[in-house]
Amino acid sequence: MRRWRSVLGVCALSWVASPLVGQSPSQEVLQLLDYSEAKVRLEAAMDLAQRGNLMDAWLFKNMKKGTPERQRALLLAASLRDTPEFWKVLSQAAGRRTRSDSKKPFALLLYGMLHPEAGKEIREDLERASNSYERLCLLQGLLCQAQQVPSDALLHSLKKEKSPEVLATAQLILALQETSGLNFDLASAAGLSSAAFASLLPNSAPVPAEAWNQEGLRIPQAWEFAARRSPARAAKEWKRLPLAGEGVARVFALRELTAPEQAKAFLWFESHLRDADGLAWLWGLLPELGLTWPLPKLAVFSRAEASAILLYAVKDFEAAQTIAILRLPAARAHVLKFAESPLDSWPAAAVLALAGQREDLTFLQGVLGKASPAERQRFHPLWLLASRKLPPGIPREDYLFGLARELKSGVSGFLDQQCWLFAGFFLLKGTEVAEFTPALQLPSFPLHPPLAHPLSDALFEDILALLQAPIYRWNLPTPR
């Protein structure tokens, strides 16, 4: 989430330099804030936030005006401004004494996702909610800031909770903190879903084999394909696995095999996969499982392989640098191919930066010399990495992990792709918007949270749009 705050901060600084002292949104923006499609309203709110402090006075004045849809959009814009004044606004909207209107669940979700103090006093934060559904909104938001939730206080605060969805979400927050000895209710779809996602995290235990065969209990196939790894399957079984649609998640079968079998399976999957996401997940398993790196294909640059090299650099920078150096010919050819549009080749440029060779540093300096604002935002950190001026340790590790996630590498790439769907089943199942969202149409998924609002309320459209936006992203543990 801090990445989005820094981007908005850069935009805000550019507006501060303007001689103007304040503005109102154009009529076009105002119309978009009331548009019938939730995604359009969300994009208008994000655009409003990026206009910097020139809009702050107008935002303060109009936060509680207009339709509920507009008010939720303006609350999002205010939350993305990242200022103490607007954090106070968000905290009040998600406050304990705020009546349970159609803005409260949205405010609690935003609060959990974005507020810098969210979750630190989890007992008090849970008391903001008026019912289990609102607690669920808060906790699903806190998945984006899981590391700052005190685990003991979370469990103590929920000792009287009855909702399986709330309890399953709390367990997943603990899993993101790499807490051991978790207690998932595997007899519920909510618990099994959380357990499946938790089992993908490093050093986690697999879901017991018997949990997958319960009558009438189904979760999305991709989650089961990714998580099921006990008992281990033989080569003749995983070679028959379909590699299309949800079946692409079967690349995570590597996690159930012995080391010699893993190497063979990797090469087989790599030669048969045609799905870009699946390739990124597969390559990311190399550093995650500690497998031997295959020899480079000198004439071919692989975006998926680049993502895995960046992920490897989080754990072992020197070893990843050696691998990057071996991939330099293909990476250099790729950046030259897109010399007129550097943003199209940044993964290859990242390999150059990781390799850290003098001639490649000159190339990156040349890009910066004539860079657009978007190109500078992308390539300046790469130049710092190439020149070894990016601070080592946590700052560099977090930056490299962010790049690997952006390229959908390994388990983190899979979780980033699926997290909106997970939250959607928990927060939207049974609502009208879910009936028109194919991915949420799993009839046997028995999640029906207590809703204090009509199932046709536009609130749920706004929640779906927020979950599908890039700002909803879980706080995954950095692989160190």
User: CA nearest 253: which of 289, 225, 287, 272?
Assistant: 225
- What phi and psi, each to the nearest 5 degrees, are found at residue 437? -115, 100
d(CA 249, CA 258): 19
Q: Quick one: pLDDT band at residue 3, thresholds 50, 70, 90?
A: very low
Q: Quick one: pLDDT band at residue 22, thresholds 50, 70, 90?
A: low
Q: What is the CA radius of gyration of the chain?
A: 23
Neighbouring residues of 406: CB distance < 8 A, sequence distance ≥ 6:
none
Query: What is the structure's pLDDT at 443?
Result: 57
Query: What is the structure's pLDDT at 31?
Result: 93
Query: What is the structure's pLDDT at 7?
Result: 35
The domain limits of the chain are 2-205+420-440+448-468, 220-273, 275-408
pTM strictly above 0.95: no
> What ranges in 290-393 are assigned the alpha helix state H?
303-315, 317-326, 328-337, 346-355, 358-369, 373-386
- Which tens digit of pLDDT belongs to each residue from 171-221? 999 999 999 889 999 999 899 999 999 999 988 889 998 999 888 888 899
Residue 156 has pLDDT above 50, yes or no: yes
Neighbouring residues of 210: CB distance < 8 A, sequence distance ≥ 6:
none
Residue 447 has pLDDT above 60, yes or no: no
- Which tens digit of pLDDT belongs to each residue from 231-264? 777 777 777 777 889 999 999 988 888 888 898 8
Residue 469 has pLDDT above 60, yes or no: yes
Query: What is the structure's pLDDT at 62?
Result: 93
| 217 vs 227, higher pLDDT | 227
First-last CA distance in the chain: 20
Residue 459 has pLDDT above 90, yes or no: yes
- Which tens digit of pLDDT belongs to each residue from 340-393? 899 999 999 999 999 999 999 998 999 999 999 999 999 999 999 999 999 999
Highest mean pLDDT among 118-122, 161-165, 390-394, 429-433 belongs to 118-122
